[in-house]
A and B are shown apart, each in its own frame.
Chain A
């Protein structure tokens, strides 16, 4: 008997007698012979807790985590410091183990967290409506596409090449499902090519998608991109890095209809890619088309303030095939981390953090671009992430440089050539408040050595006839 079950032999006897059967097997009599598994599962025997812990620790030690090195790796997920109080609050049973708040009278804590989260996200984005979160960033982008498709029924999505590749790929996977064509718009000088963007938008455009700062770290002129779609039916969708919204013009002030993004940077762990949360904010016009859950304020029969899940007639459990999405969840626990983090930063803190990132990122960009064999991939304004170009032989050369730096304890960033259509010799470098000037200076040394070594090897190898 596993330690998670409490039936004693006496219990079993009494329970079977109460049911009126002789054995547990009789309870499975309804399963036809032909589909019964007689031999049991071919899995190892169960282990005591300490052995499971030891095994999971062994696996953890086979990974190199952000605790084991100085990392400048971002590209959508970032090594921000997570304050201790978030761990404490997220691991409280009352937040960790409850069910979806369908019984509001005993779920006021969770509902209030959703309401506060929604408030924080509407403030951050400058848009009046927020849901209680969706799975993660790229799924939020895809959900925005589905919202647009249901809203205007048009046939085409226009997508900036500055969108995170995972977002573009996720959007495309889903769009194929419901039959919408996807048109790509290239970057020019690191930002969405304004002419190509404007030319791609027409009467049949259902939605346009860009990212700010974009995948190369460049700050886009969001207002200009949104303006270009003004005279079309297109829903303007912007994917944002929430940590930059302390200093970047909020999407709501730039004409963006739906602002979405990856919430991990707000108090969530890296967790090798999830769970985190995707945020989803919109203009008032889309309130009843939002995917997922929304908490609303109301009163109880005694007139006390309370919260409920509201506008549920949009949702799959009521509207079934007429629902605005098939999402039947939020990332409630992760969104809790998000609102606690934003409250921890506070009104001034998010601006201070943004300014700090801006300054340190500028310093890092200047310092690293001064390394021999390294230059900037573009010179657009950046907030916390920037793209370099390494004078080495393609992606393989960049990977070797990265590997050399990692061996010195410094992970320099993300090789852009890994993505289809990505710059083959590009390197995307990200900063968080945990990356100090001293670490940047040391990275410059490590990178200089690695690039020099790589170029020396490449030179040698080309001199030797194959």
Chain B
């Protein structure tokens, strides 16, 4: 990757240089002051860049080369599921009939889009084992919020006031943040020695004040909780809902369904299991699926299909829904328009490509790849430094502990991660989940070849060997990247969050 002198677009160009040509004024000109009085007007133009189009293109192409990306390298990122992004998806999402479609068109003029969304809802519902899907949430965390707001509406509709939400200590950080945002109090539930929910702790904390238990299964340790049926029983016995954080759904598609496990509400991360490009952190999409009893509280509008003699007709409906129907007692709207439709097109395309069998095979292979990589990293000479945090096998991801490595070799998990950059790999997720010391969380996904997994394992082994000789190499890594270790503390202490501009 390139090591250019770093200059922002605001430091390029020259006064008067431009890329944009404004269309000609083809209407009779009226005094602008008359149309917009001075008091409402901007006096000085914003100091936006003054660059030509070639300069603009070259700037962004150059800085793009200072990015690691999935199309050129391996991302073994635990809990983030960085699988191949088929280019077919970009092609179909870019078709004008999808890309240039206005969200407020009359539904009669958006029948293809509504049909696609309807089909996607059905397919996602089948994967979750829950019948009612709402595509509106914009990200997994947004789906969590939707899930807790429908939970609140469900309880309140039954005249119940509940104040607490249970989250295991292995939960993603978004879970507790969402709980607070939805107006509930977080109650932590412990983890047992096998990496599952501590049932005694759960029993002690599950009472009539509990609105919901938010669970990831398999969890962030990569372990499928064998007590899930008992957990479901305990939670439902006190009248709470059971929420499935779908971050790890990629492990069980077609193998086991959250609805069959007893979950009432599920969110999907379309950008994880259903191949949205991550885009450097967005856009994502986080639809939810719910059981019959939760369905009336779903966000609106909902898509309705009516069968006529000429075939199915699709509509968007927010009002006048029959009792018990999805959205009939809706919490309302969660965002503008209908959700991240561009993401729906891609995920729908993915499901069409794979079919039911293909989705199952994707999960099976993800689990195979994870266990294979785990086996390579637990061979003699490696596991002494990087033991598995919990259990013996894993689902689609696993968490190693770098604690012995730190003690024996003097290099931390962060050092290993940074040294991996010099080997051309994106590091695994580090320091999460919190209950594994010096955690290294690895998820290879189903789309990587055995050769890639081997090369990654070889790199880890090489770094450990190297550290036995000289730990300072890893401690000061990386060396080959566009920049070396950055002073994050300074950035937070005296934040510089925009380019200073000349007057």
| B255 and A346 form a contact (CB under 8 A) | no
Q: Are A363 and B497 in contact (CB under 8 A)?
A: no
Within the complex, the shortest CB–CB distance from A61 to chain B, in Å, comes to 6
Task: Give bound CA distance, A316 to B6, whole Å.
Answer: 31
Give the residue of B27, B57, B334, B374 whose beta carbon is less than 8 angstroms from that of A359: B27
Evaluate contact between A319 and B86: CB separation under 8 angstroms: no
> Which of A24, A79, A105 lies in contact with B421, CB distance below 8 A?
A105
- B138 and A340 within 8 A (CB): no
* Given known A-B contacts A332-B280, A362-B35, A347 and B45 have beta carbons under 8 A apart: yes
Contact, CB under 8 Å: B426 / A103: yes
Judge whether B484 and A301 touch: CB under 8 Å. Answer: yes
Q: Which residues of A contact B229 (CB under 8 A)?
A: 32, 34-35
A295 at the interface (CB under 8 A from B): yes
B176 x A166 contact (CB < 8 A): no
Contact in complex: A272, B338 (CB < 8 Å): yes
Check B495 against A169 for contact (C-beta < 8 Å): no
Question: Is the CB of B462 closer than 8 A to any CB of chain A?
Answer: no
Contact A46 B485 (CB under 8 A): no
Measured CB to CB, the closest approach of chain A to B178, in angstroms, equals 4
Chain B 120-149, CB-CB to A under 8 Å as 1, else 0, gives 000100110100000000111110110011
Residues 332-366 of chain A: 1 if any B CB is under 8 Å from the residue's CB, otherwise 0?
11101001101111111111110110111011000
CB <8 Å contact, A321 and B177: yes
Residues of B within 8 A of A245 (CB): 42, 46
A228 at the interface (CB under 8 A from B): no
Q: Which of B60, B152, B285, B364 contacts A24 (CB 8 A)?
A: B364
Whole-angstrom CA separation of A68 from B334 in the bound complex:
30
> Are A60 and B97 also in contact (CB < 8 A) when A96-B277, A221-B40, A359-B35 are?
yes
Q: Which stretch, A5-13, A151-159, A229-237, touches the partner chain B?
A: A5-13
Within 8 A of B (CB), among A191-237: 219, 221-223
* Interfacial chain B residues near A5, Cβ < 8 Å: 361-362, 365, 446-447
Chain B CB within 8 A of A19 CB: yes
Partner of B63, one of A46, A108, A343, A436: A108
Q: Select one of A20, A28, A40, A333 contacting B283, CB under 8 A.
A: A333
From A15, A85, A167, A351, contact of B45 by CB (8 A): A351
Q: Which of A130-138, A370-378, A450-458 contacts B (4 or more CB under 8 A)?
A: A130-138
Residues of chain B lying within 8 A (CB to CB) of residue A170: 332-336
| Closest B residue, CB atoms, query A293 | B281
B279 near A332 (CB under 8 angstroms)? yes
* Complex CA–CA separation, A118 to B495 (angstroms): 13
B499 near A115 with CB under 8 A, answer: yes
CA gap between A53 and B77 in the complex, in Å? 30
Q: Is the CB–CB distance between A403 and B497 below 8 Å?
A: no
Which residue of B28, B281, B426, B449 has the most chain A CB atoms within 10 A of its CB atom?
B281
B64 within 8 A of A: yes
Q: Is B324 an interface residue (CB 8 A)?
A: no
Q: Are B113 and A59 in contact (CB under 8 A)?
A: yes
Partner of B101 from A99, A272, A300 at Cβ < 8 Å: A272
* Among A94, A352, A406: residue with most chain B CB under 10 A: A94
A137, B138: Cα distance in complex, Å: 12
B497-A115 in contact (CB<8A): yes
Tell me if B381 counts as interface (CB < 8 A to partner A): no
Chain A residues with CB under 8 A of B6: 108, 112, 304-306
A272-B341 contact in complex given A43-B123, A115-B499, A436-B26, C-beta closer than 8 Å: yes
Chain A residues with CB below 8 A from B486, complex form: 104-105, 298-300, 306-308
Q: Does B359 contact A (CB under 8 A)?
A: yes
For chain B residues 45-85, which have a beta carbon within 8 Å of chain A?
A: 45-51, 53, 56-57, 60-61, 63-72, 75, 77, 80, 82-85
B95: interface (CB < 8 Å):
yes
CB contacts (< 8 Å) of A123 on chain B: these are: 46-48, 501
B46 near A118 with CB under 8 A, answer no
Residues B282 and A329 in contact, CB atoms below 8 Å apart = yes
Give Cα A9 to B503, complex, Å: 66
Residue of B at shortest CB range from A296? B491
Contacts of A126 in B (CB 8 A): 46
Q: How far is the CB of A378 from chain B (nearest CB, A)?
A: 15
Partner of B57, one of A43, A88, A105: A88
A179 to B358 CA separation, bound complex (whole angstroms): 45
Known: A106-B68, A178-B183. A41 touches B280 (CB 8 A): no
The answer to whether A65 has its CB under 8 Å from any CB of chain B is: yes
Cβ contact within 8 Å between B345 and A56: yes
Q: Across the interface, which residues of A come within 8 angstroms of B446, CB to CB?
A: 4-5
B102-110, B288-296, B402-410 - the one binding chain A: B102-110
Complex Cα spacing A108 to B199, Å: 45
Cβ-neighbour of A300 out of B60, B102, B144, B487 (below 8 A): B487
Cross-chain contact of A343 among B45, B48, B343 (Cβ < 8 A): B48
Asked whether A176 lies within 8 Å of B331 as measured between CB atoms, the reply is yes
- Assess the A63–B109 pair: CB atoms within 8 A: yes
Residue of A nearest to B332 (CB): A173
Instruction: From known contacts A250-B42, A310-B495, A333-B280, infer whether A18 and B376 are also in contact, taking CB-CB under 8 Å.
Output: yes
- Within the complex, the shortest CB–CB distance from B500 to chain A, in Å, comes to 9
Asked whether A116 lies within 8 Å of B427 as measured between CB atoms, the reply is no
Asked if B68 contacts A273 (CB within 8 A), the reply is: no
B281 touches A99 (CB 8 A): yes
A66 touches B100 (CB 8 A): yes
Q: How far is the CA of A368 from the CA of B358 in the complex (A)?
A: 55
| Shortest Cβ distance from A254 into B: residue | B40
Residue interface bits B294-329, CB-to-A below 8 A is 1, else 0: 000001000000000000000000000000000000
Within 8 A of A (CB), among B173-200: 173-174, 176-183, 186
What 1/0 mask marks residues of chain A from 9 to 43 whose CB sits below 8 Å from any chain B CB? 00110111011110010011011101111001111
Residues on the B chain within 8 Å of A342, using CB: 48-49
Name B115's closest neighbour in chain A (CB-CB): A59
C-alpha spacing A333/B93, complex, angstroms: 15
Checking B284, B375, B393, B482 against A108 with a beta-carbon cut-off of 8 angstroms, the contacting residue is: B482
* Complex Cα–Cα for A137 and B485 (A): 35
- Note all chain A residues with C-beta closer than 8 A to B356: 40-45
Taking CB atoms, residues of chain B closer than 8 Å to A177 are 145, 148-149, 152, 181-183
A313 adjacent to B371 (CB under 8 Å): no
* With contact pairs A275-B283, A317-B173 given, residues A41 and B127 touching in the complex (Cβ less than 8 Å): yes
Q: How far is the CB of A408 from chain B (nearest CB, A)?
A: 14
Known interface pairs A44-B355, A62-B111, A97-B277; A106-B1 also in contact (CB < 8 Å): yes
B97 x A269 contact (CB < 8 A): no
Top 7 nearest A-B pairs (CB, nearest first) are A273-B337, A60-B97, A62-B112, A273-B103, A333-B279, A46-B355, A275-B283
With contacts A41-B356, A130-B497, A135-B283 known, what are 14 further pairs, Cβ within 8 A? A19-B375, A41-B357, A65-B99, A94-B72, A97-B279, A123-B48, A138-B336, A139-B138, A247-B41, A269-B342, A274-B338, A275-B282, A329-B281, A340-B60
| A and B contact pairs by CB, cutoff 8 A, 18 listed | A19-B368, A20-B375, A45-B355, A89-B57, A89-B60, A95-B69, A97-B71, A103-B421, A105-B421, A135-B283, A250-B46, A311-B492, A316-B141, A316-B174, A326-B144, A329-B284, A332-B279, A336-B280
